[in-house]
A and B are shown apart, each in its own frame.
Chain A
Amino acid sequence: MGDLIELRDLKKSFGKLEVLKGINCGFEKGKVVSVLGPNAAGKTTLIKSVLGMVIPDQGNILYKGELVTGTFEYKKHIGYMPQIGRYPDNMKIGQLFEMMQDLRKLKSDLDTDLVESYHLKSMYNKTMSTLSGGTRQKVSAALAFMFQPEVLILDEPTAGLDPIAAEILKDKIMEQKNKGKLILITSHILTEADELADIVMYLLDGNIRFYKPIDVLKSETGETRLGKALTKILAA
């Protein structure tokens, strides 16, 4: 019961396509969970359900043991970094940050580490439409961490970032993990998952194929690299 987030029998289908076929799982604090799976396995849908962006057909989402399906208050404990961050073209970075702060009614006690390490302050007056994709990702990342949430949900966080920025982000993720935050990451890059994750959740056709700590996985298969370990398990 120590789970921060718990999913109970989560089902979702789009039209005829069943995307989630009854997901049951819990996410503990202080862990980095990597959600893996082939395309169309339901990774994004799962994350979006947790975020309340997709409304599940059936099942419940619990935050700290409380039912939160269909509510929005719990989202203040979640920081989300989308795969592709798109913002209103005419908005400036500074305005965006300010607006988000208004939205969360949180002005002080902000975590601005990423804003600083990405040098975003100097670009506060640039409008979103002038930014490169990478810079926008930086903005998204900075936003996700800004409000010191209990839970971080990062959708392909390093995609589109330059290697240095990616390293900064990884460091940030580890730091947060050590502070006892729960971090959910979807990623296609297995080495990255290998590097960051404590636990791997593998989705296949809307079901959890397995959900195991990474070291258990490695020792079960006798492999040292996650990629190898995965292929071995899936082949079995």
Chain B
Amino acid sequence: MLDIIRSKVLIAYTALLALISLSIFMSDADVTKGLISITTIVMIIVPLVSIVYATTYYFNASEFTELLVSQPISRSDILWGKFIGIASSILGSYLIGICIPVALFAFSSTGLMLMLSGCLLSLSFVSLAFLASTKTRDKAKGIGMSLIIWFYCSIIFDAIVLLFLFSFSDYPLEKVMIALTAFNPIDLARILILLQLDISALMGYTGALYRDFFGSGSGIAFSLIFQIAWSVLPILLATRTFKKKDL
């Protein structure tokens, strides 16, 4: 509905992703190792760029958004239009930068999972960016908030989980652990890939609950469902906020 933006940032992002994946595949004969390296990078860069880019774009276009609001068009249409515009361009970058190289060099179930979870990760962080943007008034705060979300999801959350594990290691924490991962989209994406890459190690775990979770399709289903929830819920909340927001 809205414009698809040809922006330098996006081109740079696409090029960066493509460069990373290509250089890894070119320099390393071992495809699995390449996939692991890409996964590590993707888990950091994709959320960061997605959320910061979406937030920046949101605020750069805020005056235009005002103009649009003065037009006979509903606010949720405006927000969703923006969301679809940004999400599709970010996804496009990911598809070109990661998915195509992976499909060419390392087409496997792991590769496929990397593509899928990366796409969902992009979506959920664009979605989160919109939530952060609509909740704040100015650009600096918005970007600050986005960075906090990113930082929280990629490091702090896991650190807290680790601490939590340390302090309560005597208790059966399996259920809690599984539930906890649902609170972090990066963890969900990571587990999707883990289920392909490290299934040998995961199967070694003694607890029956983990075994079921890892062994059957339920782990994949669980992660996918919650990743989709992370993509959809923030933007829905953002729409609610945006409808009531003064511009």
Q: Is the CB of B64 within 8 A of A53?
A: no
Per-residue contact bits, chain A 27-56, to B (CB 8 Å; 1 contact, 0 not): 000000000000000000000100111110
Q: Residue A61 at the B interface, CB < 8 A?
A: no
Q: Is the CB of B72 within 8 A of A95?
A: no
Per-residue contact bits, chain B 50-80, to A (CB 8 Å; 1 contact, 0 not): 0000000000110110111111111100000
- State in angstroms the CA–CA spacing of A57 and B7 once bound together: 38
Q: Beyond A72-B72, A90-B5, is A82–B244 a contact (Cβ under 8 Å)?
A: no
Q: What chain A residues lie within 8 Å of B170 (beta carbons)?
A: none
Q: What chain B residues lie within 8 Å of A53 (beta carbons)?
A: 66, 69-70, 246-247
Interface stretch of the complex, out of A3-11, A99-107, A197-205: A99-107
Q: What chain B residues lie within 8 Å of A87 (beta carbons)?
A: 64, 67
Per-residue contact bits, chain B 67-97, to A (CB 8 Å; 1 contact, 0 not): 1111111110000000000000000000000
- State in angstroms the CA–CA spacing of A51 and B72 once bound together: 10
Q: Is the CB of B246 within 8 A of A85?
A: no
Per-residue contact bits, chain A 52-95, to B (CB 8 Å; 1 contact, 0 not): 11110000000000000000111110101010111111110001
Q: Is the CB of B70 within 8 A of A78?
A: yes
Q: Is the CB of B63 within 8 A of A84?
A: yes
Q: Is the CB of A75 within 8 A of B3?
A: no
Q: Is the CB of A54 within 8 A of B247?
A: yes
Per-residue contact bits, chain A 12-38, to B (CB 8 Å; 1 contact, 0 not): 101000000000000000000000000
CB distance from A190 to the nearest CB of B (A): 26
Q: What chain B residues lie within 8 Å of A80 (beta carbons)?
A: 67, 70
Our pick among B6, B72, B246 for the contact of A55 (Cβ within 8 Å) is B246
Name the residue on A nearest B245 (C-beta): A55
How big is chain A's contact interface, by range? 20 to 34
CB distance from B67 to the nearest CB of A (A): 6
Q: What chain A residues lie within 8 Å of B2 (beta carbons)?
A: 99
Q: Is the CB of B247 within 8 A of A48?
A: yes
Q: What chain A residues lie within 8 Å of B73 (beta carbons)?
A: 72, 75, 103
Name the residue on A nearest B67 (C-beta): A82
Q: Beyond A53-B247, A103-B71, is A82–B66 a contact (Cβ under 8 Å)?
A: yes
* Selected A-B contacts with CB under 8 Å, 30 pairs: A12-B246, A14-B246, A48-B246, A51-B70, A53-B70, A53-B247, A54-B247, A55-B245, A72-B72, A72-B74, A73-B72, A75-B72, A80-B67, A80-B70, A85-B63, A85-B67, A86-B63, A86-B64, A87-B67, A88-B3, A89-B7, A90-B6, A90-B7, A91-B3, A99-B2, A100-B71, A103-B68, A103-B72, A103-B73, A104-B71
List the 7 shortest-distance A-B pairs measured between CB atoms, nearest first.
A76-B72, A86-B63, A75-B72, A80-B70, A54-B246, A51-B70, A53-B247
